[in-house]
Structure 1
């Protein structure tokens, strides 16, 4: 068995994993493991942008309120405040690292608006290729400075004496490797890939949640799955995501009869929070109507959205009339391994960042373009914590894996069957009977866990089963409808009185901040 040692082991190579690696590489020996390649991540596929209050007519308090309201007041306030306050500083840092944010003809950064935002504060790069532009910039910075292991899947984390001390992996050729590490960072994404229609990279199979659970980490909010309202859906399948930025640029949702889908549903209409738009489209489709996104009024659509244009061409959708067929699809996981503001989970030595974590900044429903922001803000903080509070050096303690038996995983369902169960019973609309049926089905595989004898495919299926069981159980236990979790037997929670108090309190913050800026100008 091949045993390797590293100061920090990062599992996942999306924006969160790369950001942590960039902040650590000059001080620690860093190893990144990914079961595919650096181009196979949700971050790389991100069409939307990154949100931050970077302009004088905007303020972090306003971004905070938009985030809290979209999150249905389920957010961790303190961490959400960190997110929006530190966002502008991270944008400046990314610009220094050559992330090519789009500019207006006057040379200023171009800002867009997306659902749930009351201000234009979304930065994009390459139109609808923000994720890939950011990934490429960070990958180029870390390549050659950290060890990157592609096409290698983590089977399980190694926990000894209550501390995470590494992980064991499986290579494509069947070889097993062991990594001993002083600190381990989970950055392998969420679980939206467990659904039949989704926006995620095909490599996303709920691995981070399953790994954290088996390691004994506290998990939370797994019932909150965000369904993106507009997947390009035709011929019975999805051809990819149609970014919310399209609606921010003037796109409108219409039925096949030409009626406005969101008219009278929400004050922001087509730019309402994603959970509301997704449920409204879902209802229209269930009533026998087809739903389209009319992009005829979006200026320079093909240049502004080259990725979506390519997807339309692949789906044989003509943009001549500007109508793109859409349907909701699983998109983002708000829950995960519970962390504090420094990325620490409840297992010493184990950290979680990005979609693998539950920082609480997204509440019950993520605000558009806050995911890339979370990835960079909290990954930097996680790296700082590791540097300021050095973890125990990797040790060659008695190997707890020596006693592991190599056995067959036995009969397992295929991935599509798991996705069908999740879509039917834990999708956009959930019922108590459906959730109970799903729990009973997943319990049949509860005792199955990865071991050295499993293939990579079997390991993925086992992770999907584990994570799916946790999601449906969480959905059954939450007796309310809120954000991405909607049950037919409970009304939607609004908490309007809470919001009124928050607006008043944050208004004070805004006035204090303005006063400080004025004073700074006088005494400059």
Structure 2
């Protein structure tokens, strides 16, 4: 009997962690629209947060996570993430994952913003994502098949409404349909919707659009984290400067030499990201340039080799110590609503990693909790799927057909125009008039994809997906009439706990009902 077939869409750490968990029980196929290493995970610099230091506690990491997320999370899920995360990281360390160590052979644990202890594991100094992705790839067997440069353009469902496969298209116009017992979205975030971003250019919300079109529930789409320190040169961003640099003592100054975080937050440069990003943005609006002063960091090139290479490529002097910075889109806290193992409300469809709204990040993700989430949910979903294995039907069919391209009725706009408008109107600081202006602009560019999506090119499909996700984010930002975490409204500058506590209770009841329904359908254990 053939093994059941599992499709994973995306190739970041969550996808690879899942693949290695299930490769002995399933035939795993990973599909990505670019190359395997074209992911945010591969670009991740800072590291992975876990309370494994001698003087650290699970409770402290839990409280730091809640505070950074402005208490918008499901507290039980945060607690489980930290507990499970500690075990997952300890297992990786034990098996020899390439985490940096100090001269005595102990794990080197760094500090990042909003953390109360040194708990950031890193690899290669500032190349954690690259090292970990390569490590996970090295653990995969021939039971994992990679398909590169095919864009998933549609989720397929059977006559019972169960997700049973995907439809893809490549640049030559070939359409392929892959069937599977389970389909997992691990497509990361939405950075490609913004003109300034730390994300890989290909990451533009495809997974969320696919899920939305398939009838999956999405939540918290207004909560987007803007990283404070992207390298800013010649009017645009050129890459991320890890928060770990501030953890090593770098300060933020303006072109007058003033330290801009003084009297803003007690944690200064290590305040939660939304606070630092907003402060830099305000300085730039006032006509001030902002710099990261790294002059006090010893052995900078040894500690941050990839960032040093970035500076060299842009002809920036490390010795002078003043690095021009500006915020940019970094992480999506919201996304496809899932339960505690990654199931969506669409049977057969799962979501893990940044594409999912798992309930652990709230209104603002704590630094270096993202890779932790991907690793934990990769294990959890893997254990769940293995337990379901004997109930899986075998779908090994693959239909291939060639389609001639036909133009869609209305292409709408060019991607760069949407990105600039998103940065201006749905960016770091928002208010009703700008949000409505952008929403009306989106509505004035409707899409008609004839009878189905087969007639569109991959580029047209990408723009269509961008339009959908931009619409969802903008409408969500209009609905939340308060400032909380990564969602900052200049017309509603305060957190409105009275109104939104009521809304949170309603949403939690809905989410709990969703999770209860999942467990009634198939009773599950606690996975870690």
Q: Which residue of 1 aligns with 2:517?
A: none
Tell me whether 54-63 or 66-75 shows the greater mean CA deviation: 54-63
Aligned with 2:56: secondary structure?
coil
SS state at 2:453 partner: coil
Match of 2:253 in 1: 254
Indicate the RMSD between aligned Cα atoms, in angstroms. 2.3
Q: Which residue of 1 aligns with 2:304?
A: 305
Separation (CA, whole Å) in 2 of partners of 1:12 and 1:394:
22
Quote the offset at 1:392 in angstroms: 3.7
Once the two structures are TM-superposed, the CA of residue 394 in structure 1 deviates from its matched residue by: 4.2
Q: 1:494 to 1:67 in 2, by over 3 A?
A: farther
Q: Cα 1:343–1:282, aligned 2, differ >3 Å: closer, same or farther?
A: same
Q: Retained in 2: the 8 A contact 1:80–1:361? A: yes
- Tell me which moved more, 483-492 or 107-116: 483-492
Q: How does 1:276-425 map to 2 (within 5 A)?
A: 276-390=275-389, 392-395=392-395, 407-412=406-411, 413-425=413-425
Contact 1:180/1:394 (<8 A) preserved: no
Distance 1:212 1:97 in 2: 35
What CA distance in whole angstroms lies between the structure 1 residues aligned with 2:339 and 2:15? 17
Secondary structure of 1:142's counterpart equals coil
The Cα shift of 1:438 comes to: 1.2
Instruction: State the 1:444 CA deviation.
Output: 3.5
List structure 1 runs of 4+ shifted beyond 4 angstroms.
Answer: 394-397, 404-407
How many angstroms apart in 1 are the aligned matches of 2:454 and 2:58?
A: 49
What is the match of residue 482 of structure 1? 484
CA distance in 2, matches of 1:157, 1:88: 34
Change in CA separation of 1:494 and 1:113 when aligned onto 2, cut-off 3 Å: farther
Taking the aligned partners of 2:265 and 2:428, their CA distance within structure 1 comes to 18
- Distance in 1 between residues matched to 2:343 and 2:8, nearest whole Å: 14
Assess if the C-alpha contact under 8 Å between 1:43 and 1:135 holds in 2.
yes
Does the 8 A contact of 2:338 with 2:356 survive in 1?
yes
Q: 1:112 to 1:348 in 2, by over 3 A?
A: same
Structure 1 CA distance for aligned equivalents of residues 370 and 283 of structure 2: 28
Cα distance in 2 for residues equivalent to 1:448 and 1:244: 43
Query: How much has 1:396 moved relative to structure 2?
Result: 8.3
Unaligned runs of 5+ in 2: 501-528
Higher mean C-alpha displacement, 419-428 vs 435-444: 435-444
In structure 2, what is the equivalent of residue 149 of structure 1? 147
Distance 1:42 1:200 in 2: 6
The aligned residue for residue 431 of structure 2 is 431
Local SS of the residue matching 1:8 = strand
Alpha-carbon distance between aligned partners in 1 of 2:446 and 2:31, rounded to the nearest angstrom: 27
Quote the residue 1:503 is aligned against. none
Aligned pairs, how many? 493
SS, match of residue 31 in structure 1: strand
2:471 counterpart residue number:
469
Q: How far apart are residue 253 of structure 1 and its match?
A: 0.4
| Greater CA drift, 56-65 or 409-418 | 409-418
Q: 1:230 to 1:494 in 2, by over 3 A?
A: farther
Q: Which residue of 1 aligns with 2:461?
A: 459
What is residue 526 of structure 2 aligned with on the other side? none
Task: State the TM-score, normalized to the length of structure 1.
Answer: 0.90
Alignment of 1:58 onto 2:56: yes
Offset at residue 99 of structure 1 (A): 2.1
Gaps of 5+ in 1: 499-524
What CA distance in whole angstroms lies between the structure 2 residues aligned with 1:320 and 1:7? 54
**99, 102, 114: which is aligned to 2:97?**
99
Residue 76 of structure 1 corresponds to 74
Match of 2:125 in 1: 127
Q: Distance in 2 between matches of 1:176 and 1:156?
A: 11
Partner of 1:472: helix, strand, or coil? helix
CA contact (8 A) 1:226 1:330 kept: yes
Q: Distance in 2 between matches of 1:448 and 1:484?
A: 33
CA contact (8 A) 2:163 2:348 kept: yes
Distance 1:308 1:492 in 2: 36
Q: 1:486 to 1:153 in 2, by over 3 A?
A: same
CA distance in 2: counterparts of 1:159 and 1:240, whole angstroms: 39
Quote how far apart the aligned CAs of 1:495 are. 5.9
1:224 aligned onto 2:212? no
List per-residue Cα deviations over 1:344-383 (Å, max 9, x = no partner).
1111110100001000111000000000000000111011
Paired with 1:446 and 1:393, the residues of 2 have a C-alpha distance of 39
1:144 Cα offset (Å): 2.6
The answer for the alignment partner of 2:23 in structure 1 is 25
- Per-residue CA shift, 1:160-218, capped at 9, x if unaligned? 22211110001232211101111010001111210000000011111011011001000
* Partner SS state of residue 416, structure 2: helix
In the TM superposition, residue 15 of structure 1 has moved relative to its aligned partner by 0.3
Q: Is the 8 A contact 1:193 1:199 kept in 2?
A: no
Report the Cα distance in structure 1 between the residues aligned to 2:404 and 2:331, rounded to whole angstroms: 36
Q: 8 Å contact 1:35–1:151 — kept in the other structure?
A: yes
Note the C-alpha offset of 1:319.
1.1
Taking the TM superposition and a 5 Å limit, the aligned residue runs for 1:230-245 are 230-245=229-244
1:200-211 equivalent positions in 2, closer than 5 A:
200-211=199-210
Q: TM-score under structure 2 normalisation? A: 0.90
